[in-house]
Structure 1
Amino acid sequence: MFLGFTIGFLVALGIILKTFIVVPERSKVIKERLGKFDQVLGAGFHFLIPFVDRAAYRQEVREQVIGVPSQSCITRDNIQVDVDGFVYLKVTDARKASYGIGNYITASVNLAQTTMRSEIGKLTLDETFTERDAINENIVNEIDKASAPWGIKMIRYEIMNIDPSRRVVDTMEKQMEAERQKRADITISSGEKEAKINLSEGEKIQAINLSEGEKQRRINESNGTAGEIRTLATASAEAVSLVANAINGPGGRQAVQAQLVEQFIDEFGRIVSKSNVSVVPNELANIQGFFQGMGEVSQKIPTSSNEKK
């Protein structure tokens, strides 16, 4: 009796539990009636007819993040790389997600992998590192087109890692090292070039300044010499003019002749005193005529002075 009561109680409890369902806010439930789609149950409390209605599918309507496993791809320049990433999607139609495809998560991952292989094959290795945003956008567009009948929306796709083989990595490192060394050599050579240019410009300016200074010094010296010569010439001209005026004056000629005779005698005396050879000029051969000439000159000088008075 007690066993039968217990069994009846459990059956009744099971029937009661199947008469209602609570759907959380983040989910949607597909209700079938007699094995056929009836409606989509939103968040809240819902009654079911026992043995007639049933909750066939429960779909998550929040945005989901699904990891895409790493796979090998061949770039346009025939380099093998391993690429993985994440798919961000959301169920927009619970009925299509339940009846349009058996497992939309697996289908999305497989579609993402095939699309990623296709997009990587269009690019070179260098472009795969610089064109990530374009790759992600193309993958999202392709998956979104294919997944429209599934009732899901592809939000975005993110490539996480692009890993070339070890041999390719070593080659890239050598290439980058060579490129860095090249840039360093170019920088050093450019610096040396600039230094030589600056040095030559400095030497050029120095040479120009020195030449300008030398030119100005010579101009100044020539101007000074010219001024000195003009001054001496002017003084000489004035002296000659004064001498000429004195000679042309009364008794001037006789004074000049007396001065010349006096200078001649002085010079002759110095020559004779310094020389071991006795030299007698022809003009002094007749000593008497010489002294007579001197006497006449001496007599004429006072006479000219008296005439002036």
Structure 2
Amino acid sequence: MSAAAIALIALAVLVLVVLSRTIRIVPQARAGVIERLGRYQRTLDPGLAVIVPFVDRLRPLIDLREQVVSFPPQPVITEENLTVSIDSVIYFQVTNPKDASYEIADYIGGVEQLTVTTMRNVIGGMTLEETLTSRDKISSQLRVVLDEATGRWGIRVNRVELKAIDPPLSIQEAMEKQMRAERDRRAAILTAEGVKQSQILTAEGEKQSAILRAQGQR
């Protein structure tokens, strides 16, 4: 192979390498952060983009879709020092890729830790009864606080859902005992009503029979 052919092949390879480092395609619902010589330069929107090879660097793409993070049950202490277990789900979106890249190292981990801290602060000022009966109120309060706190990270918290709020085992047993007693009470009432109705029907039947017998003896 001649030197000219080798040079052409080398040039073609170089061109391909340069093109591969110059042209970037950002998928829909993603964003790309470009750094130039180590400093933030711009944010790429979905579509075809051209960057300066060997000078610009594309950071890992950021997902702009709504993300769902489900946390394992967290022990939280109420105002009466009772420990409840709360299972929560957070729905959030990245609205500012630049802030999500530079204001926090791990925004998903940050959301998780902030959720736990906020939940403890909110539940810590509530009684057990309020906690068990105010799920929507707690979710709304958590969303407002989290959305405000994560705004500087370029994140919007859309909603917070509490999948389960489990009181202490002793409280659960007491509640179940109370529910059983209530069911037994209602069953006793229904049984008594049934007996009463049966007695009424029997008495009514005997009355009608007596009337018919009296009429037959005339």
Provide the TM-score with structure 2 as the length reference.
0.76
Q: Residues 121, 180 of structure 1: CA spacing in aligned structure 2 closer, same or farther, 3 A cutoff?
A: farther
Aligned to 2:110: 107
Instruction: Give the superposition deviation at 1:167.
Output: 3.1
Contact 1:68-1:112 within 8 A present in 2 as well: no
Deviations 1:59-109 (CA, angstroms, capped at 9, x unpaired): 111111111221111222332221111110011111111111111111111
Please state if 1:39 is matched with 2:17. Answer: no
Separation in structure 2 between the aligned mates of residue 68 and residue 10 of structure 1, nearest angstrom: 49
Aligned to 1:28: 31
Aligned to 1:81: 84
Aligned to 2:150: 147
Deviations 1:175-229 (CA, angstroms, capped at 9, x unpaired): 22234445667x57x97xx99xxxxxxxxxxxxxxxxxxxxxxxxxxxxxxxxxx
Separation in structure 1 between the aligned mates of residue 138 and residue 96 of structure 2, nearest angstrom: 27
| Long gaps (5+) in structure 2 | 198-218
Aligned to 2:68: 65
Deviations 1:26-79 (CA, angstroms, capped at 9, x unpaired): 101111122221111101111111111111242111111111221111222332
One-letter identity of the residue aligned with 2:173: D
Separation in structure 1 between the aligned mates of residue 98 and residue 74 of structure 2, nearest angstrom: 32
Deviations 1:253-283 (CA, angstroms, capped at 9, x unpaired): xxxxxxxxxxxxxxxxxxxxxxxxxxxxxxx
Separation in structure 2 between the aligned mates of residue 52 and residue 118 of structure 1, nearest angstrom: 47
Aligned to 1:130: 133
Q: Residues 7, 85 of structure 1: CA spacing in aligned structure 2 closer, same or farther, 3 A cutoff?
A: farther
Paired residues for 1:1-309 under 5 Å: 12-181=15-184
Instruction: Give the superposition deviation at 1:15.
Output: 2.3
Instruction: Give the superposition deviation at 1:22.
Output: 0.2
Largest Rg, 1 or 2 = 1
Instruction: Give the superposition deviation at 1:119.
Output: 2.0
One-letter identity of the residue aligned with 2:73: S
Separation in structure 2 between the aligned mates of residue 13 and residue 167 of structure 1, nearest angstrom: 70
SS of 2:71's equivalent? strand
SS of 2:90's equivalent? strand
SS of 1:76's equivalent? coil
| Runs of 4+ in structure 1 over 6 Å off | 4-8
SS of 1:18's equivalent? helix
Q: Determine which structure has the larger strand proportion and give its number.
A: 2
SS of 1:147's equivalent? helix
Q: Residues 65, 169 of structure 1: CA spacing in aligned structure 2 closer, same or farther, 3 A cutoff?
A: same
Contact 1:32-1:54 within 8 A present in 2 as well: yes
SS of 2:160's equivalent? strand
Separation in structure 1 between the aligned mates of residue 149 and residue 55 of structure 2, nearest angstrom: 35
- Structure of greater relative contact order (alpha carbons < 8 Å, 6+ residues apart): 2
RMSD, matched Cα: 2.9
| Long gaps (5+) in structure 1 | 196-309
One-letter identity of the residue aligned with 1:122: G
The size of the alignment, in residue pairs, is 193
Separation in structure 2 between the aligned mates of residue 91 and residue 105 of structure 1, nearest angstrom: 10
Separation in structure 1 between the aligned mates of residue 163 and residue 17 of structure 2, nearest angstrom: 48
Task: Indicate the percent of aligned positions where both proteins have the same amino acid.
Answer: 37
